[in-house]
Amino acid sequence: MNNEMNKDFNKNLADKNDDLKKAAMAFVLLMGIMSGFSDMTKEGASSILGAFLSLAGASAAVIGFVSGLGEFIGYSLRLLTGWLTDKTKKYWPITIVGYIIDCMGVPLLALVPRDGWILACVIIVIQRTGKAIKKPAKDTLLSFAAAQTGAGKSFAIQEFLDQIGAFIGPVMLFFIILLKKNEDLFSVYTVCFAVLFIPSAITILLLLIAKHRYPEPEKFEPPQKEAVPFRMNHSFIFYMVAISLFGFGFLDFPIITMHTLKTGLIPEDTISLIYAGAMAVDAFAALFFGWLFDKKGIKVLMLSTLASAPFAIFIFSMNSRWALFLGVALWGIGMGAQESILKSAVTQIVPKQTRSSGFGIFQTAFGACLFLGTWLMGVLYDVAPFWLVAFSVVMQVAAIPFFLLSDRSQRAALPVMEN
């Protein structure tokens, strides 16, 4: 009789675990679809933002400064918002506020009058602030579900659905511009921003549905026996060095766009499609490397970094269309790794109670290095494209040994943690 009771208990426990995993995967998919609509809004806007600001009266220097400032704010504030999220545990309220500011900032650009570049710049900076508010809290919510579904798989699915939206957004605007090609371009861009209200509203609706269906995602991950304070262990320190070096060598896409226009390798009106193609590669690379991460761990980042490292060689050193396409594809692989398995590694290294702080520190460091590296490579490009290529490749390759050291440090600490 005891054996039968044990069998029933084990069966019920297994059924409960299966239900929990199914619920966690449903949560990951719902949040991924929501992120897809969010990226449809943001990346659609990104594909025309520089040209829109120029038509609104902003100089190249202003566009570069505002873009850099927006990205820097979008990353640097995560140090504060990550700490705040860990202190308050208000994961959903912080995520929702951040998404409202982030997504609704884009359609507000439709209200910018001609020569209203100052207003447009203010909206952009505020919108980037929303991104800083939401990211640590949202990534932490996803990390809880990842305890059931696998960190690599969860963040890879998230990035895949995210980048499907990032692909559709620029393509959608390309067709709107094509349909209205005989009209004033500033007015056409205004229409584009207004249309982007639709996916931004869907984003907020899906987010509220997710909160209603899964009010406490932290229950997906088993509670730790005792509170573990956040500390810079060896694995995390090596990891931070690695992602900082990677960030220094991995430039933002506008420099690629500028170089492509300068060389005239493809028609000007198809530039947004190049970016869309990079987003498509990003999506599938995230799926592959996310699956591999759950099997091999942090050292998979060595492979993804090695694959993306030569992208600048093909884009900036070879004046041919096939080299441009190959370079953009390799850039997309690096982007896929950045948005999926880089986050997955934080989930493994940082304890549950302080994970938002971990995400905040990681994202702030990476964002600052990406901003400074892109700015420096822009300067190097003006001197000679060769120096940009050399800096980019050397920085990314230099990150590889530190990913290996982080992996070894984490594995060495595992027996101690288990005791």
Q: Which residue in this structure is represented by tokens 């490397």?
A: 289
What's 115's DSSP letter? T
Give the whole-angstrom CA distance, residue 226 versus residue 262. 58
Q: Do 163 and 283 meet the contact criterion of CB atoms below 8 Å apart?
A: yes
Q: For residue 109, give the amino acid letter.
A: L
Q: Mind listing the pLDDT tens digit for each residue in 233-280?
A: 787 788 889 988 998 898 877 678 778 777 888 876 677 678 788 888
What local confidence, expressed as pLDDT, does residue 266 receive? 81
In degrees, rounded to 5, the angle at the alpha carbon of residue 102 between the alpha carbons of residues 98 and 107 is 145
376 pLDDT exceeds 70?
Answer: yes
CA distance 361 to 355: 10
CA distances from 383 to 53, 263, 319, 403 (A): 26, 16, 18, 32
The alpha helices in 180-251, defined as continuous H runs, are: 185-195, 197-213, 234-249
Say if residue 354's pLDDT is above 80. Answer: no
Percent pLDDT > 90 in the chain is 26
Alpha-carbon distance 344 to 35, whole Å?
17
Weakest-pLDDT range from 51-60, 100-109, 132-141, 175-184: 51-60
Contact 368, 68 (CB under 8 A): no
Euclidean distance between CA atoms 357 and 64, whole angstroms: 30
Look at residue 226 and tell me whether its pLDDT is greater than 60: no
- Surface-to-core class of residue 198, CB atoms within 10 Å of its CB (0-12 exposed, 13-18 middle, 19+ buried): middle
Report whether pLDDT(47) > 50: yes
Query: Is 127:98 a contact under the CB 8 Å cutoff?
Result: no
- Which one is predicted more confidently, 19 or 208? 208
**Residues 36, 160: contact at Cβ < 8 Å?**
no
Q: Kindly state the helix (H) or strand (E) to which residue 418 belongs, with its residue range.
A: helix 385-418
How far from chain centre, in Å, is Cα 180? 31
Q: How far lies 126's CA from each of 76, 109, 193, 198, 371, in Å?
A: 14, 12, 16, 20, 18
For the chain, the straight-line distance linking the first and the last C-alpha, in angstroms and rounded, comes to 35
Q: What is the pLDDT of residue 139?
A: 84
Q: Which two tokens mark 294?
A: 């759950």
Q: Residue 327: is its pLDDT beyond 90?
A: yes
DSSP one-letter string for 145-156: HHHHH-HHHHHH
Position 27 confidence tier, pLDDT thresholds 50, 70, 90: very high
The span from the CA of 33 to the CA of 138, in Å, is 14
User: Coil, strand, or helix at residue 60?
Assistant: helix
